[in-house]
Amino acid sequence: MEGFEKVKAFLEEKRDEMVENLMEFVRIPSVSEDLPEVKKSLRYILDLADRFGFSAKAVLDERVGVIEYGEGPETLGILAHVDVVPPGSLEKWIAPPFVPEVQEGAVWGRGTLDDKGAVIASLYALRAVVSLGLPFQKKVQIILGTQEEVEWTDMSDYVKSFPLPDYGFTPDGEFPLCNIEKGIGGVELAFPLQAEPKTPGACSGKYTLLSIDAGVVNNIIPSSCTARLILHGPDENDEKEIRLTTDGTSVHACSPEKGDNAIVNMCKILKSLPLDDEKASTIVTLIADQLSDIYCGPIGVGERLEYYNGEFIHKNCMSPTMIRTVNGEVLLYMDMRIAYSTSTEEIIEGFEKLVGPKGGFVRGNTLEPATYIDRNLPFMKVFAEAYESACGLENEFTLAYGASYAKAMPNIVAWGPVFPGEEDTCHEENEHISIDSLMSAAGIYGEAIRQIALSSESFI
């Protein structure tokens, strides 16, 4: 039996075990901000790797896990993460998000697709290649972060403190190979509300905006937004507090066109009301009319070429994902997805020009530029061949719309686990992964590991 067929047979034999491990993994509610549960999740997968006979340890106060096998002059890295985003609206889930179920040939639960299913696939792929009993000529290193869904303090500290792999992939995107990844981050905008006291009776029939609140994390389109207002009567004692709620559809902010933004929906309603604060009126109108333009026309970076060196790089995208009213200010977080043709400086300048004349300002940003990996590098050719031989589909070099740890280190590309034509439920309610796709991804990763780790050739 040829090498890949043996890898594939091993994985198929472990199919039920892989599903059970994934369900155990998902039962740990490792939302990024819940550090005890995140560390519990990391310990779970490290213990599993240890039982498989791999070197497995936590570093940086259990903020990063490292699983290793083999030795050699080059290291193949697999970067993934154990933290997950919050579940969103619980009533929209067909089953509790942290009580995974198998339905319709898929495992349902938060983290099944992003990124716990891919972690299981990668770990078993390595195990399958080791089962061949052949000597490794390269080190294979699975590096697991714990804060990928928020600020990457884990991976930034790891990069500063430890040797890095020579090349590799993160199973945190789509198939085929994503050699271009859009820039990511956000811009926080601040808008002071009116501070002067109102003249009694002058606000009759008007509304005072007390607060507007939406969003749980910065990379999800919010599915709900709440505003509190006061409706003023003819005298100062005639006031009525009103609470408004708008609904939307929550999706990953890398593809905002697939969702329905509850912040924008709320601001369209507030825009139609007679607000007594001109500044509040200006803010909601700005969000409803301009900051709702997901392709960035109002900040001056909308009309850009969508191709670079003949490769598709898409458009710049922006979305309001979090809004709060704090100490007399409306704070708005704009999630950004930046095409390779645009600099982060252009983004910041565009926002300053837009909001400055309207009384707002840029309070801060977490922008990271887009990345580009040459498709002709030797390890990229191996990945392409592994994809074609393992799943029978033709490889293409594509654009990753989301952001992944591919930005954290050189020569890392986003690769799977979502296949062409599959529904991508990453960050959505009812997140799930097809068991067949889980197995196919493991087979592809196993073939890539086999071709690289068992070869004496250099792939740099």
**Phi and psi, residue 450, nearest 5°:** -60, -50
Whether the per-residue pLDDT at 392 is higher than 80: the answer is: yes
The domain spanning residue 399 has which CATH number?
3.40.630.10
Element (H, E) at 298: none
- Asked whether residue 402 falls in the same domain as residue 332, the answer is no
Residue closest to 191 by CA, chosen among 398, 332, 377? 332
pLDDT tens-place string over residues 137-163: 999 999 999 999 998 999 999 999 999
Residue 408 inside a domain? The answer is yes
**Both tokens of residue 451?**
């071709």
CA dihedral 79, 149, 286, 348 (to 10 degrees): -50
Q: Tell me the C-alpha distance between 258 and 451, whole Å.
A: 38
238 confidence band (pLDDT: 50, 70, 90): confident
Last residue of a domain, one of 336, 365, 394: 365
Q: What's at 350, amino acid-wise? A: G
288 confidence band (pLDDT: 50, 70, 90): very high
pLDDT tens-place string over residues 415-438: 999 999 999 999 999 999 999 999
Whether 300 contacts 342, CB under 8 Å: no
Residue 458 inside a domain? The answer is no
Last residue of a domain, one of 331, 365, 399: 365
Q: Tell me the C-alpha distance between 303 and 362, whole Å.
A: 23
- Asked whether residue 213 falls in the same domain as residue 348, the answer is yes
Please report the pLDDT score of residue 140 as a whole number: 98
- Asked whether residue 165 falls in the same domain as residue 197, the answer is no
Residue closest to 253 by CA, chosen among 292, 221, 215, 293? 221
1 confidence band (pLDDT: 50, 70, 90): low
- Asked whether residue 145 falls in the same domain as residue 213, the answer is no
Residue 460 inside a domain? The answer is no
- Asked whether residue 207 falls in the same domain as residue 69, the answer is no
Last residue of a domain, one of 313, 345, 365: 365
Query: For the residues 28-40, what does the mean pLDDT come to?
Result: 98
Residue 113 inside a domain? The answer is yes
Q: Which of 169-183, 206-220, 226-240, 294-308 has the lowest mean pLDDT?
A: 226-240
Q: Concatenated DSSP letters for 220-246?
A: B--SEEEEEEEEE-SSTT-EEEEEEEE
Whether the per-residue pLDDT at 247 is higher than 70: the answer is: yes
Q: Which residue has the tokens 């006291």?
A: 197
**Both tokens of residue 333?**
């977080």
The domain spanning residue 236 has which CATH number?
3.30.70.360
- Asked whether residue 353 falls in the same domain as residue 375, the answer is no
Please report the pLDDT score of residue 367 as a whole number: 94
- Asked whether residue 379 falls in the same domain as residue 414, the answer is yes
Q: Tell me the C-alpha distance between 38 and 34, whole Å.
A: 6
DSSP conformational letter for 303:
S
Identify the burial level of 63 via C-beta atoms within 10 angstroms of its C-beta, where 0-12 means exposed, 13-18 middle and 19 or more buried.
Answer: buried
Share of the chain above pLDDT 90, in %: 89
- Asked whether residue 211 falls in the same domain as residue 105, the answer is no
Whether the per-residue pLDDT at 402 is higher than 80: the answer is: no
Residue 459 inside a domain? The answer is no
Compare 87 and 196 and report the one with higher pLDDT: 87
Q: Tell me the C-alpha distance between 255 and 174, whole Å.
A: 13
Please report the pLDDT score of residue 198 as a whole number: 57
Residue closest to 431 by CA, chosen among 7, 49, 83, 87? 87
Mean confidence (pLDDT) of the chain: 95
Please report the pLDDT score of residue 195 as a whole number: 65
Please report the pLDDT score of residue 196 as a whole number: 60
- Asked whether residue 132 falls in the same domain as residue 67, the answer is yes
Whether 29 contacts 85, CB under 8 Å: no
234 confidence band (pLDDT: 50, 70, 90): confident
pLDDT tens-place string over residues 93-146: 999 999 999 999 999 999 999 999 999 999 999 999 999 999 999 999 999 999
Q: Concatenated DSSP letters for 109-138?
A: STTIIIIIHHHHHHHHHHHHHHTT-PPPSS
- Asked whether residue 383 falls in the same domain as residue 236, the answer is no
Sign of CA dihedral 83, 54, 164, 442: negative
202 confidence band (pLDDT: 50, 70, 90): low
Whether the per-residue pLDDT at 201 is higher than 70: the answer is: no
Question: Does residue 20 sit in helix, strand or coil?
Answer: helix
Please report the pLDDT score of residue 111 as a whole number: 98
Whether the per-residue pLDDT at 86 is higher than 70: the answer is: yes
Structural domain boundaries enclosing 130: 3-182+371-453
